[in-house]
Amino acid sequence: MNATAKLHALGQSLWLDNITRALLTSGTLARYIQEWSVTGLTSNPTIFHKAIGGSADYDTAVSELVKAGKSGEELFFNLAIEDLRGAADLFQPIYERTCGVDGFVSLEVSPLLARDAEGTIAMAKQLHAQAARPNLFIKIPGTPEGLPAIEEAIFSGVPVNVTLLFSSAQYVAAAEAYLRGIERRIEAGLPADVASVASLFISRWDGAVHDQVPDDLKNKLGIAVGTQAYKAYSDLLAEDRWQRAFNAGARPQRLLMASTGTKDPNASDVLYIEHLAAPLTVNTMPEGTLKALADHGNIGATLPRDGGDSEATLQKFTQAGIDLDALAEKLQIDGADSFVKSWNELLEVIEEKSGAIKAAG
């Protein structure tokens, strides 16, 4: 049994953090599903910017959409939804076999709406309806402004992937927003089984402190944060409030480990995968990390539900002068800004391709 199959057997879902048209048309994604136990997929503006700007695979589709009068964000979402529908259809058997627990793909609302709750809610509903796939998550950032949008989207029956979470406190706030939406559905007599995941970003922690801590602490912060969040996750699911929701038909909002590609070239390329295995969770990984895992990964023990030594490890970073709360807030703000930058670059690429098509007649 290779490492991908072992991780899947332990109860953690392996999702691919990538989408390109070539992945679909070449049969590569289908092969990952069949051979490497991949059961879902995530996307973000940076991924689409690289996919659309870095190849000619989308040129024909862009040309057709331009001729149909589409431009800007509308044109992009048409391209993205076409890709994600194709991926969702590949995962549909998994979605059905797991009764809607697994087999999801994810599409992000415009990052320009990160601090606009009303705009986020409206776009989440519109995109999910347009995609017309039950196994498609709408990604909403877990910023303070995003929390009301998460609650409202869940209440409206839109499955949500909460993104840009960096700490246990941010995760708990997002989980409570999800649960409020579910409790409102129960009170209104609506089905409570609206799916959600909460995406905790891991590797950016270590990148942020790499030059500020001694060698014995390098590449240990992300794992400690993930372990601490897993304890918070386990504790929440055991609370009476969550148990009452489960009794009414709700499902756990699964914790998702995101940003798990290793940034430090001197560290193991499967560092975060091997150390963050846990049942009833998801790990979404870049394609290169997935290949490395299949080739030479070694899955051992799962995360301890009691947090293990994560608090002691985090205390060492505090003693080294790292303000963890301030850094979590900064990472979330920087992450949102980074997605806006990629979004604007993506729209520039689309505008350039559209302009060239119009100029060519």
Instruction: Indicate the SS3 state at residue 12.
Output: strand
Owning domain of residue 43: 3-359
Among the listed residues 192, 191, 158, 162, the one whose alpha carbon sits nearest the alpha carbon of residue 176: 162
- CA of 233: how far to CAs of 44, 86, 182, 197, in Å? 24, 32, 17, 11
139 classed as catalytic? yes
In the predicted model, is pLDDT for residue 223 greater than 90? yes
Element (H, E) at 62: helix 59-67
Read off the pLDDT of residues 256-284 as tens digits, 9 standing for 90 and up: 999 999 999 999 999 999 999 999 999 99
Catalytic residue among 139, 220, 231, 353: 139
In the predicted model, is pLDDT for residue 1 greater than 80? no
User: In this predicted structure, what is the pLDDT of residue 361?
Assistant: 62
pTM across the whole model: 0.96
Read off the pLDDT of residues 178-218 as tens digits, 9 standing for 90 and up: 999 999 999 999 999 999 999 999 999 999 999 999 999 99
- Domain count of the fold of the chain: 1
Mean per-residue pLDDT of the chain:
95
CATH number of the domain within which 171 lies: 3.20.20.70
